Amino acid sequence: MAGSEVLDRARAIVGPSHVLSEPADTAPFLADWRGRYRGEALGVVRPADAAQVAALVRLCAETGTPLIPQGGNTGVVGGAIPDASGRSLVLCLSRLNRIRAVDPIGDSLTVEAGCTLAAVQAAAEEAGRLFPMSLGSEGSCQIGGTIATNAGGTAVLRYGPMRDLVLGLEVVLPDGTLLNGLRALRKDNTGYALKHLFIGAEGTLGIVTAATLKLFPRPRSTATAFLALPSLEAALRVFARLRGALGDRVTTAEILSDSQLAAVLAHVPGTVRPLAAAMPWYLLAEVTDPMAGLDLAAALEDLLAEGLEDGSVADATVARSHAQAEALWKLRHSVSEANRKSGIVIGHDTAVPVARIPDFVARATAAVEALRPDARVVAVGHIGDGNIHLVVILPDSARTESQPLEATAHAVSAAVHRVAIDLDGTISAEHGIGQSVRDALAAYKGPAEMALMRGIKRLFDPQGIMNPGKVVLTGEP
Amino acid sequence: MAGSEVLDRARAIVGPSHVLSEPADTAPFLADWRGRYRGEALGVVRPADAAQVAALVRLCAETGTPLIPQGGNTGVVGGAIPDASGRSLVLCLSRLNRIRAVDPIGDSLTVEAGCTLAAVQAAAEEAGRLFPMSLGSEGSCQIGGTIATNAGGTAVLRYGPMRDLVLGLEVVLPDGTLLNGLRALRKDNTGYALKHLFIGAEGTLGIVTAATLKLFPRPRSTATAFLALPSLEAALRVFARLRGALGDRVTTAEILSDSQLAAVLAHVPGTVRPLAAAMPWYLLAEVTDPMAGLDLAAALEDLLAEGLEDGSVADATVARSHAQAEALWKLRHSVSEANRKSGIVIGHDTAVPVARIPDFVARATAAVEALRPDARVVAVGHIGDGNIHLVVILPDSARTESQPLEATAHAVSAAVHRVAIDLDGTISAEHGIGQSVRDALAAYKGPAEMALMRGIKRLFDPQGIMNPGKVVLTGEP
């Protein structure tokens, strides 16, 4: 079928005004926000509800048209960007933005895929509850995308990644069947965990149209601290002390290298060095409790005093006001902006077992510096998750070298990934696979797991129309 | 191949003394502890390690021999019992009982499938950590079985079911490939969640031989209370108040009907009524915190005082000693024994959204009483999980009716399951499917989910040799 006929039939499903095909209209959907990935498409379709999504999927199944689901387009692995063929439809979920139900007794809410994360947080707050996922992009990323990528963020330590927050899913399968699995159940042992296959599958097995999510009590006591640390080994000791004493009250433990803090202070207006002396590492720790009136700041200060005494902490400050806490958080939230302004960014999303973080950072940094003595390596991440983003910053001159920049980036990333794998780590902790690490996956997974993944893809999507080219290719046996 | 040849080849793999084929030796492996399920087998094989498991699976794949993995044989759904054909091998995992590694920094440990849950708890404790799963059968159930069934227990409210406690798995696939997925990673977004397919699959997709599990800080403050409540609605209000104020400190919230408590007091020696007056419902609540020296009993008393004032709590006692807490726990732990002694037990494992618990109990009880006016209905369960076990107790005379007992039990269970499904609930919350609810599953899942489950089973186990007849049948398209 001609592309124009596919578009005509899509218009009949969603209404003419919700099919975009003019280049000026479709452009924002065909590239990611960092400008790394760019594709072409027949058009962009904007269904109003799950029934329209199902009708569009049936149209695509019938016509063999690849379908690329897209939420807020805030991803960093190219998972929501079509290929260059121009044969695909981009499925924009933004209009599925209803909060369908809030159940404060069962501590759950049901929302459509196109709700922004911020809208979900707000709906939870309105019900006196917390939806705990917290991401830099929360104002624009959509809940369907956070499910499709099993998003992480700064509260994973306490609440887990998206996978742990999903009770049930409504999914349109690749044949257009609408699967209603919006079960608000805390326990359900009825066979194979289909829900978990869709979570993190980046739309390659079906399209999430709605989800029932867990809610939590709101924190009513909070304390935020910023620590300067002599080493990553010391950071692990401090983290273990905090977690051992305070348990899951420790909701955030974000580590920044001195080079990362320096980049933030140099490039982001309004940021202020929180501690006098520079040290190799810093930790932003937040502690929360649903009980009101607890003096968590005092509890933190006691624990930090022990650290100052035994040398694991070099210096520390505990925020004494909301404004002070915000200023500390601003340092963390500014890292992407700072790194972009520092040069050419080659980012990574590795995780290793927590005890191996020091080893990973030392070996990966050495590997990068051996390849590129002109690189600046900064590190920022989630120490309790073992998830350290090693960010390699090259001078702008790297663009004009004889070796194309893409090849340089590939070599750098291969070196970082090799170290992570050697230390029993992963090459994608929270960003997903998309296009960016798809071809690196086999080295991590091994042939048996890859074969099962390809088998699952073929089972769910025998025509290969659901976000093809992402996560796993089915061409191989 | 003749059965005797399969046994000979199994002897060559594990050694002659680890293949049991005499009826006296195999009998304990061919029936469940409650005597509900009984099967036949060629023999019982007891491998020493994962390599021997892989060799046995290859033998079974080559000879088309069904393989039935069995842990502590403490399950209640017949999931580890072979069928009557006598063609199967029972694979006993007990000798895979090594604690392979403990990582107190990464808060994880790696254990083999045949370790008892109690042994895993002890290994965690030795490292100063908590492995939180807690089950009545913890002294004999094995960790592989708890993974295969995604076991629940009394601490799910706080720590989640087994699924939430597994970081990585080592699995022997149905073709004998040993898949090493013992990743101690807190985050890993590298494609489809194969791990979650094996968890809860009851050995139908592969055999778990080892697992890397999450550890937690040990609780250092604890308080235990027993409450008498006028209604389930009141119980929900009290639970919401506790959770809202204390958050995840509320690790246990077990509900018992008055009829359940009465059965315990009547049939289990050494149990004592903890509160003077009888009320329709009781709640056993435990609150824990990793911080030492907290007066959680006082915090509980304050909250319970509010409940006494507004009428949601009729009476309450907070344990003032470890012995008092143990006595309260004994009431909960004695329910199975008490019910067995009360008559013919027809148990259920439903869960519904928490807010619907009162409706579920009222409607399911009425449905049972309409069918069997002579039934005594008792209820015990996990209120925060929505998981209420409705236990129907028939007089012994039901054995001698013209309708076979099995048909009576089937009719009773169908009525209870119907109510659960009508209330958006599940028919198996924590026990699994096994043989017992396999045929009831389609009414709950619907055709699309059933088709995907059958497809996954065929993809992983095309020969159908892995624990056949459990969870899902592949005969249908």
Q: How many domains, in total, are found in chain B?
A: 4
Residue A38 lies in a domain: no
CA B81 to chain centre: 16
Chains A & B: contacts with CB separation below 8 Å: 256
Say how far apart CA B192 and CA A456 lie, in whole Å. Answer: 8
Asked if A393 and A405 sit in the same domain, the reply is yes
Considering only the C-alpha atoms of chain A, give the largest distance between any 2 of them, rounded to a whole number of Å: 74
DSSP H or E run through A224: strand A221-229
Contact B355 A106 (CB under 8 A): yes
Judge: B216–A247 Cβ closer than 8 Å, yes or no.
yes
Cβ of B426 within 8 Å of Cβ of A191? The answer is no
Angstroms from A17 CA to nearest CA on chain B? 33
> Given its phi and psi angles, is residue A285 left (phi above 0), alpha (psi -120 to 50 degrees) or beta?
beta
Closest approach of A459 to chain B, Cα-based (Å): 7
Q: Which long-range contacts (CB under 8 A, 24 or more apart) does A418-423 make?
A: A418/A367, A419/A350, A419/A360, A419/A363, A419/A364, A419/A367, A420/A350, A420/A351, A420/A352, A420/A360, A420/A364, A422/A363, A423/A352, A423/A353, A423/A356, A423/A359, A423/A360, A423/A363
Residue B465 falls inside a structural domain: no
Is A185's Cβ below 8 Å from some Cβ in B? yes
**A105 with A197, same domain?**
yes
| Model pLDDT, residue A277 | 86
Q: What pLDDT was estimated at residue B277?
A: 86
Q: Give the residue from B158, B190, B431 with the most A CB atoms within 10 Å of its CB, the best one to mutate.
A: B190
Say yes or no for a CB contact (<8 Å) between B105 and A352.
no
Identify the domain boundary among B217, B237, B264: B217
Is A357 part of the contact surface with chain B (CB cutoff 8 Å)? Answer: no
Which residues, listed in sequence order, are joined to residue A68 by a DSSP beta bridge?
Answer: A90
> Same domain for A103 and A151?
yes
Last residue within a domain, chosen from A217, A246, A277: A217
Shortest Cα distance from A191 to chain B (angstroms)?
Answer: 6
Same domain for A225 and A212: no
Is A71 a domain residue?
no
Give the residue ranges of DSSP H helices in A105-199: 117-126, 143-148, 156-159, 162-165, 194-198
Other C-beta atoms lying within 10 Å of the C-beta of residue A476: 10
Q: Return the residue matching tokens 């509160």.
A: B275
Q: What is the mean pLDDT of chain B?
A: 96
Nearest-by-Cβ selection for A103 from B353, B445, B453: B353
Q: Which backbone phi and psi does A80 adopt, to 5 degrees?
A: -115, 15
Cα separation, A64 vs B5, whole angstroms? 51
Q: Are residues B314 and B353 in the same domain?
A: no
One domain, residues A185 and A255? no
- Write down the pLDDT at residue B2: 85
Model pLDDT, residue B456:
98
Smallest Cβ–Cβ distance between A248 and the set B149, B248, B426 belongs to B248
B225 within some domain: yes
Same domain for A324 and A389, yes or no, is no
Residues B88-101 as b or e (16 or more Cβ within 10 Å = b): bbbbbbbbbbebee
Q: Is B107 on the interface with A (CB under 8 A)?
A: yes
Q: How far apart are CA B318 and CA B307, in angstroms?
A: 14
CA distance B20 to chain A (A): 31
End-to-end CA distance of chain B: 29
* CB proximity list for A141: less than 8 A, separation 6 or greater: A71, A72, A74, A116, A117, A135, A151
Chain B residues within 8 A of A351 when measuring between CB atoms? 185-188
Read off the CATH number of the domain in which B37 is found. Answer: 3.30.43.10
**CA angle, A256 then A258 then A262, to 5°:** 105
CATH number, domain containing residue B141: 3.30.465.10
B-chain CB neighbours of A359 within 8 Å are none
What 3-state class would DSSP assign to A171? strand
The Cα–Cα gap between A387 and A371 comes to 23
Closest CA relative to residue A135, chosen from A72, A224, A77, A198:
A72
Mean pLDDT across B285-291: 95
Q: Give, for all 477 residues of chain A, the pLDDT tens digit.
A: 789 999 999 999 999 999 999 999 999 999 999 889 999 999 999 999 999 999 999 999 999 999 999 999 999 999 999 999 999 999 999 999 999 999 999 999 999 999 999 999 999 999 999 999 999 999 999 999 999 999 999 999 999 999 999 999 999 999 999 999 999 999 999 999 999 999 999 999 999 999 999 999 999 999 999 999 999 999 999 999 999 999 999 999 999 999 999 999 999 999 999 999 899 999 999 999 999 999 999 999 999 999 999 999 999 999 999 999 999 999 999 999 999 999 999 999 999 999 999 999 999 999 999 999 999 999 999 999 999 999 999 999 999 999 999 999 999 999 999 999 999 999 999 999 999 999 999 888 999 999 999 999 999 999 999 999 999 998 644
Say how far apart CA B76 and CA B152 lie, in whole Å: 13
Nearest residue on chain A to B179, alpha-carbon basis: A448
Cα-Cα-Cα-Cα dihedral sign, residues A8, A12, A13, A19: positive
* Element of type H or E holding B329: helix B322-333
Residues of A in contact with B430 (CB under 8 A): 187, 189
Q: Is residue B104 a contact partner of residue B129, using CB atoms and an 8 Å limit?
A: yes
Q: What is the CATH number of the domain that holds A347?
A: 3.30.70.2740
Contact with chain A for residue B205, Cβ under 8 A: yes
Is A105's CB within 8 Å of B432's CB? no
Statement: residue B394 has pLDDT above 50: yes
pLDDT at B476 over 60: no
Task: Quote the pLDDT of residue A477.
Answer: 43
- C-beta atoms of B355 and A425 within 8 A: no
Q: Which residue of A has its CA nearest to B243?
A: A217
Residue B322 CB coordination number (10 Å): 10
B453 is a domain residue: no
CATH number at residue B313: 3.30.70.2190
Please answer yes or no on whether B192 and A201 come within 8 Å at the CB atom: yes
Q: Determine the residue type at A40.
A: E
Query: Does A187 sit within 8 Å of B429, measured CB to CB?
Result: yes
* Residue B228 and residue B324 in one domain: yes
With beta carbons under 8 A apart, name residues in chain B contacting A436. Answer: none
Burial zone of B460 (CB within 10 Å; 0-12 exposed, 13-18 middle, 19+ buried): buried
Say if A364 falls within a structural domain. Answer: yes
CB of B427 less than 8 A from some CB of A: yes
Q: Which helix (H) or strand (E) holds B153?
A: none
**Residues of A whose CB is below 8 A from B240:** 104-105
Q: With respect to residue B167, please indicate whether it lies within any of the assigned structural domains.
A: yes
Find chain B residues with C-beta within 8 A of A246's C-beta: 290-291
> In angstroms, what CA-CA distances link A348 with A21, A212, A281, A415, B340?
34, 31, 19, 11, 57
Question: Measured between beta carbons, which residues in chain B are less than 8 angstroms from residue A106?
Answer: 353-355, 386
Mark whether B45 and B113 lie in a shared domain: no
Q: Which of residues 36-95 of A touch B (CB under 8 A)?
A: none
Choosing from B92, B123, B155, the residue where a domain stops is B92
For residues B406-426, average pLDDT: 96
Residue B450 lies in a domain: no
**Co-location of B139 and B236 in the same domain:** no
Same domain, B230 and B289: yes
Residue B225: is its pLDDT beyond 70? yes
On the question of pLDDT at B226 being above 60, the answer is yes
> How does pLDDT run across B310-361, given as a tens digit for each residue?
999 999 999 999 999 999 999 999 999 999 999 999 999 999 999 999 999 9
Name beta bridge partners: A428: A349
Contact A105 B352 (CB under 8 A): no
Range of the domain at A168: 99-217
Closest to A78 in 3D by CA, of A441, A468, A399: A468
Instruction: Say what the pLDDT of residue A474 is.
Output: 86
Of the pLDDT bands very low, low, confident and very high (cuts 50, 70, 90), residue B477 is: very low
Any A CB within 8 A of B315 CB? no
Instruction: Identify whether residues A173 and A193 lie together within a single domain.
Output: yes
B431 interfacial to chain A (CB closer than 8 Å): yes
